[in-house]
Structure 1
């Protein structure tokens, strides 16, 4: 999950079966890297019809005094929850991550968080029956932390029932299901209530608004998993936590996600398999400590300092190195890391670009053939 202030990432070095990675400021609940797990599950109950003001056939737990039927809810929801595993190459070796996904189409479509799969070189999913299948990127909206992947040559899947987040109220009971801490076996199930609505959280990369806050336990690995209402319907996608807090997690409301799913299925994501990928991690020069700038003999006052080059990527093949400062791309001036991201996203995989860098105080130009986002090159 995204971790606020002390942000626990969702990707971690591959060393044990369960791994996670880290994200920049907020802990996205469903991020997959620094050991993430997903949460999803809701108690199946009859509820009060808020829209009409009339009582339906079902009654809330408080009204009826009945216990939340977790087992019934799980029988409905669990077949639609999958574990997501990713591999990512970095300068320090191969990293693996784990998160969660929600089936949204019997033809293999699975919804998860962007932070779970963004930058991954490969993605695999473990279905409810325990079988593992390769998955491909359909597309993603990084600014919304939403991604859609699809199982390759897999069986017919069981789509989750998507509910509505528009009528939820503080105090409503919810259930979360997900691959918490990548512990293996069946996903973890936690229970809580809606603690607040319309929350806003911010990381160095994105700002997420209109979130559902819940006290249902959400841990790394839960990212991308569903938050369920008492009828087992998905009302949110778990995405973030506050690292040093107790029982404070956040989910993206499903009403905000539904139109994005349709856009992604039509190939209109901000990031798609054809999107260009350079393969570097950078920091704006003006935010880097002087000691680091001195270490690499950086004299540029603006630009993007390369802090990591992922092995096998376009950047690696072209000879870019840690410590290089990107000052221009195809003649366009680069003042910050955001400029690098914007320029690369304006290209397609396979495009050839000219990157002007400062290396040890000297300027040089390097030609780079851009790779694809999911595929590691």
Structure 2
């Protein structure tokens, strides 16, 4: 059987060519028209109520919304490496329960009662605080009440997770301040040389320039658990006097900064910063049971401590050697005093009015004297004797204006020395 040979027929090839060309042009026209109508319908539907627009989400780095917010973010990034957590550990006794007969081996009284006995010790974490590095060789400033325990060990934990054993170099005898020391890490450079790695440090500002309402940032080891937590507030008050207590430690601190930036347990010793990233205070206390009332020691009071530790290896203060009560209008009326200002030298419970062999004793000051002026500075409740004497050094000669038996008297005193 023979089939017709279509491929030799010109009409056949004309039909095939026509179908092929029509298909190509039809596909192209369909593609173009489909795309056009798809985009047109999509744009129409996107404006139709109730139809959600699906947008591609692109993650971007957060952009601060205000210049102040940007400053705070930059401050935290810059200062955090120099803010450290202080971990307090101590060898604590381990006890076990046992039973014993209080009557010994008496067979007539076989009574067993429970008791406890120590079977050893184990090192436990008993507290924590905050500090900040003030020198490249590892000096750390913190609160004195954080490092009060002489038998405890102190470990510094940096923001990047490194640990360093710390030594307590000095405790301020007057203020709630202490200075610790950690040793620098030894590293080997590319050439094989052994080098000491320096620590990041904070910048110290001028606390005398603080203004009410000024924005401040607090960084600290909140509750001894949340490292380098940040809180923001304002300066709520200046020149406050508080009595701080905790852990068997009670101290009256004068001329402190009040702030509403959150200061919690564990924040103690952390920096209070201005918007230039400078330390203006050392967070020290908060009012229990109240909200947004915290206190910090002005950094200018700590600068002298830092320099003394660097040069002398300890912190020393000028010492007069008197126990006194600040004279107010109320104190004047209650005790029939001739003036309503000054420092009235009186005895206390178990405390003499004049410390034996002190500068005051050697200069001839007596119980009942009222010191009116200290080197021409009037002594008032806002400018107390303790605040004035802080400006001087041991060995300085000062002139006191003293009221004795209602007569003014000039007494020259060479200040003594007080250390921890």
Give the TM-score taking structure 2 as reference length: 0.47
For 1:84 and 1:157, how far apart are their aligned partners in 2? 16
For residues 98 and 87 of structure 1, the distance between their equivalents in structure 2, rounded to whole angstroms, comes to 9
Aligned to 2:143: 113
> Displacement of 1:264 after TM fit?
2.2
Q: Shift in Å at residue 187 of structure 1?
A: 1.1
Corresponding residue for residue 402 of structure 2: none
**Structure-2 change in CA distance of 1:128 and 1:146 (3 Å):** same
One of 70, 73, 87 as aligned partner of 2:72? 70
The DSSP-based 3-state class of the residue aligned with 2:237 is strand
Displacement, 1:208? 0.6
Pick from 214, 217, 221 the counterpart of residue 262 of structure 2: 217
Alpha-carbon offset, residue 128 of structure 1: 2.1
**Rounded Cα–Cα distance in structure 2 between residues aligned with 1:162 and 1:68:** 21
Corresponding residue SS for 1:143: coil
Greater fraction of residues in helix = 2
Q: What is the CA-CA distance between 1:132 and the residue it aligns to?
A: 0.6
Matched, 1:253 2:284: no
Conservation of the 8 A alpha-carbon contact between 1:215 and 1:249: yes
Match for residue 239 of structure 2 among 198, 203, 213: 198
The 3-state SS of whatever aligns with 2:207 is coil
SS in 2 for 1:159: coil
1:102 is aligned, of 119, 132, 142, to 132
SS in 1 for 2:81: helix
- What SS class does the counterpart of residue 205 from structure 2 fall into? coil
Superposition map of 1:86-101 within 5 A: 86-88=88-90, 96-101=126-131
Does 1:150 find its partner at 2:181? yes
C-alpha spacing 1:213/1:241, structure 2 compared with 1 (3 Å):
same
In the alignment, which residue of structure 2 is the partner of 1:80? 82
| Pairing of 1:135-284 with structure 2 (within 5 A) | 135-154=166-185, 155-184=197-226, 186-203=227-244, 205-265=250-310, 266-269=312-315
Contact 1:140 1:270 in 2 (8 A): no
Query: How many angstroms does 1:88 deviate by?
Result: 3.9
Q: Report 1 or 2 for greater relative contact order, CA contacts < 8 Å, sequence distance ≥ 6.
A: 1
Q: CA deviation at 1:202?
A: 1.4
Q: Is the 8 A contact 1:140 1:264 kept in 2?
A: no
Extract structure 1 runs of 4+ deviating beyond 6 A: 90-93
Gaps of 5+ in 1: 1-60, 272-334, 343-377
Find the aligned partners of 2:316 and 2:209 in 1 and give their Cα distance.
Answer: 29
Give the Cα–Cα distance (whole angstroms) in 2 for the partners of residues 65 and 126 of structure 1: 32
Bigger Cα Rg: 2
Indicate the residue corresponding to 2:42 in structure 1. none
Provide Cα deviations, 1:267-314, integer angstroms capped at 9, x if missing partner.
12369xxxxxxxxxxxxxxxxxxxxxxxxxxxxxxxxxxxxxxxxxxx
SS in 2 for 1:78: helix
- Give the secondary structure class of the aligned counterpart of 2:305: helix
1:174-227 residue CA offsets vs partner (Å, 9 max, x unmatched): 00000001224x410000000000000014632111100000000000000000
1:74/1:241 CA distance change after superposition, 3 Å: same
TM-score (norm: length of structure 1): 0.52
The CA deviation at 1:65 is 7.1
Does the 8 A contact of 1:68 with 1:230 survive in 2? no
Helix, strand or coil at the partner of 1:209: strand
Aligned-pair CA distance for 1:153: 4.4
Please give the residue correspondences for 1:282-293 in structure 2 after superposition, counting only pairs within 5 Å. none
TM-superposed CA distance for 1:112, in Å, is: 0.5
Q: SS state of the match for residue 224, structure 1?
A: coil
Paired with 1:119 and 1:81, the residues of 2 have a C-alpha distance of: 22
